[in-house]
Amino acid sequence: MKRSVAVQRPARLSVERAQLLIENDAGRHTVPLEDLGILVLDHDAIAVSGPLLGELGEQRVAVVVCNAKHLPSAMLLPYEGHSLMAQTLRGQIEASKPAKKQIWRQIVVAKIQSQARFLQEKLGHDFGLGSLSNQVLSGDTSNREAVAAGVYWDALFGEDFIRLRRTEMAESGPGLDPTFRTANALLNYGYAVLRAAVARAIVLAGLHPALGVHHRHRENTFSLADDLMEPLRVLVDRQVCDILEGEPDLPQDLTPSLKRGVLTVLAAEVTWEGGLWPLDAALEAYAVQVRKCLLSETKALEVPGA
């Protein structure tokens, strides 16, 4: 299992004998680069050496950079992740519309089913999402994903809950319920970290993260990551619910402790091929499956179970 490391205090990061060297007021700490999967930089006084950035790329480590509000704002990914990347990229660009629509249908089905399982586990009832997953058409043209989302969030947090993305949070103003504000902030942070993990797996499979099968906004350079992570968002939802229930008097701002709690989602195990796999390994296998579907090598897509 690859490690995820978050640096949340002033530090100098460099490379020493194939290890990430973190130097701060607490001393010197090292992490073997070959064990590292994701590095989160979450402080404005972190200095990173050029040689380290080169080694992180060579070791295929995804680097997430947070802004002054401690929210992920940038991502660095390996430039080359697969020996046949050029050939795969051509196939990805030329993938047929029916193939993309079938991939998206399978992703949406898996997402709704994962939401149904979580509601059943947490509340003892899936609120009809299990049967709704059987109604998804090719390309989800009837938008069952949105219908399921409405049911899901109402069941999980109540009918007054409003799911807000990071940009929407900034526009929400002070009138938003403090608990809902904290819940949204935790969800957004967790989704951003999960997105980085998925993007890393996509690059390792030789795919380009900007070429999505459903998401395709011209300014979104991680459309495929947004597609593939959909069924796995429940991992973050489960972690956030546990945090909210365990600490009823949470601050509205994300503290380092809260973010560390959300970051543990990357150490989760998911179901894959009939067994439990570390998330990073399952994501890599999942991305390879998507590549095979895009290149018409197979039609059936197996999705990791959250």
* DSSP assignment letter at 79: S
| Residue 89 CB neighbour total at 10 angstroms | 15
C-alpha distances in angstroms, 202 versus 35, 81, 281?
19, 8, 12
Smallest CA-to-CA distance from 53 within 65, 42, 41, 61 is with 61
Helix (H) or strand (E) holding 21: strand 19-24
Query: pTM for this structure?
Result: 0.84
Mean pLDDT throughout 6-28? 94
Backbone angles phi and psi of 140, in degrees to 5: 50, 50
- pLDDT category of residue 65 using cuts at 50, 70 and 90: very high
Number of Cβ atoms within 10 Å of the Cβ of 264: 13
* pLDDT category of residue 248 using cuts at 50, 70 and 90: low
Radius of gyration from C-alpha coordinates of the chain: 20
Question: Who has greater pLDDT, 179 or 107?
Answer: 107
- The reported pLDDT for the residue numbered 295 is 92
Domains and CATH numbers, the chain: 3-76 (3.100.10.20), 85-294 (1.20.120.920)
pLDDT at residue 256, rounded to an integer = 85
Higher local confidence (pLDDT), 170 or 245:
245
Read off the pLDDT of residues 249-294 as tens digits, 9 standing for 90 and up: 777 678 888 888 999 999 999 999 889 999 999 999 999 999 999 9
Which residues does residue 287 pair with via DSSP β-bridges, in sequence order?
none
Most confident of 110-119, 204-213, 255-264: 110-119
More confident residue, 11 or 205: 11
Mean pLDDT, the chain, as a whole number? 90
pLDDT given for residue 281 in this prediction: 93
How many CB atoms lie under 10 A from the CB of residue 57?
16
Residue 218 has pLDDT above 80, yes or no: no
Q: What integer pLDDT is reported at residue 4 of this predicted model?
A: 86
Phi, psi values for residue 111, rounded to 5°: -65, -50
For residue 4, the SS3 value is: strand
Q: Are 187 and 173 in contact (CB under 8 A)?
A: no
